[in-house]
Chains A and B, each alone.
Chain A
Amino acid sequence: MATQMQIIAGKKQGFTEFCHGLRQGIPIALGYIPVSFTFGLMAVGGGIPVWTAILISMSNLTSAGQFAGTNLIIANAPLLEIGLTTFVINIRYMLMSLSLSQKITPGMALLKRCIMAFGITDETFAVASMEKGEITFNYFIGLVTCPYWGWALGTAMGALTSSVLPKAVQSCMGIALYAMFIALVVPAAKRSRAAFFVAAAAIGISSFFRWGPYANHISSGWSIIIATIIASFAGAVIYPKEEDELE
């Protein structure tokens, strides 16, 4: 009898945690809809079918990685290049996943950890890591629910809008994705000298691969990978981060 009471109390607490996460996820979802809307526009504008664009959002749930990967699909790049570029862009998730592994309920089952991992994005990570105390499975699932469906819904709306837009407007949409990258990197580069240096170094290297002598036969995917590794390496050497800055 006592154990049954404990189970009921546990379920109730789990539900409370889920609802707490759910509420915190709503603003993230609202922020996601315009971004994924642009993704849907871009993907369908580039010739990806509507349902495939939605599938990409529902299976990838990431911004920069799926934008770049989809761009390479549109450019008909080889699979190795698509996989490697997407992987390099997503390497940053390792840091977040690592950081979350220190904050989740100790001894959480492997299956639950693996389910949680799918929902790690820049934003869910930022919100979850600001939580006081440990991160429970139920809380994190609640947190991810609205952003996940917001991401899918925005993509669907953008994809359907794109197919009715005139060609001249569609070609202008090509810049949307890059404009968003600028919107992500410029505010960070404004605040941090190191971030500015790393982004500028990467731009210099990728420009060399595009225009430099003997280098212009390197594809754009490899150019991104090489530029990223060299620029981040240089950043880590010149501006090593203090322990507390990496939290």
Chain B
Amino acid sequence: MSKTLTAVFLMALVTYIPRALPIAVFKNKLKSRFLRSFLFYVPYAVLGAMTFPAILYSTGNVFASAAGMGAALILAYFEQGLMKVAIGAILAVYITGCLLH
């Protein structure tokens, strides 16, 4: 339990530092175009790396997870918003799970 609390504190700290450091310290813009581009791409890379292949092991059944992923991809492609995509994926996993049993 105390390890969980330590982890929460650590997460809060490493979330706050990148927010606070530049606004507290920098008065001028970053000069390096490369560094600015690198930082710009970080969110896309993180989202990609976090999602796949971990999504396949997120429900205890690889096939149900793959179905959920397919549903999420289609809904996201048509820009249905976070909640709809999440609910659609959950439903696809649930239905596939029922069909497989």
Contact = CB atoms under 8 A, between A and B. Distances in A.
Interface of B: prevailing SS: helix
Interface in B72-86: 72-73, 75-77, 79-83, 85-86
A175 B55 contact: yes
Contacts of B13: 83
Interface residues of A, number: 98
A178 interface: yes
Contact of B50 (A59, A68, A183, A201): A68
Contacts of B42: 88, 91-92, 228, 232
A205 interface: yes
A239 B37 CA distance: 8
B17 to A, nearest CB: 8
Contacts of B14: 83-84, 86-87, 90
B21 interface: yes
B82 A175 contact: no
A184 to B, nearest CB: 6
Interface residues of B, number: 75
A117 B22 CA distance: 9
Given A97-B23, A110-B24, A202 B45 contact: yes
A186 B77 contact: yes
**Max chain B CB contacts within 10 Å: which of A110, A179, A207, A243?**
A179
Contact of A100 (B4, B23, B71, B72): B23
29 contacts: A38-B82, A59-B11, A72-B7, A79-B10, A83-B13, A86-B15, A97-B20, A98-B30, A101-B27, A113-B23, A175-B58, A175-B68, A175-B89, A185-B51, A187-B77, A194-B41, A195-B44, A198-B41, A198-B45, A202-B47, A202-B49, A203-B49, A206-B49, A210-B53, A224-B46, A224-B50, A227-B45, A232-B39, A236-B38
Interface of A: 34-35, 38, 48, 52, 55-56, 59-62, 64-66, 68-69, 72-73, 79, 82-84, 86-98, 100-102, 104, 110, 113-114, 116-118, 120, 168-169, 171-190, 194-195, 198-203, 205-207, 210-211, 220, 223-224, 227-229, 231-233, 235-237, 239-241, 243, 246
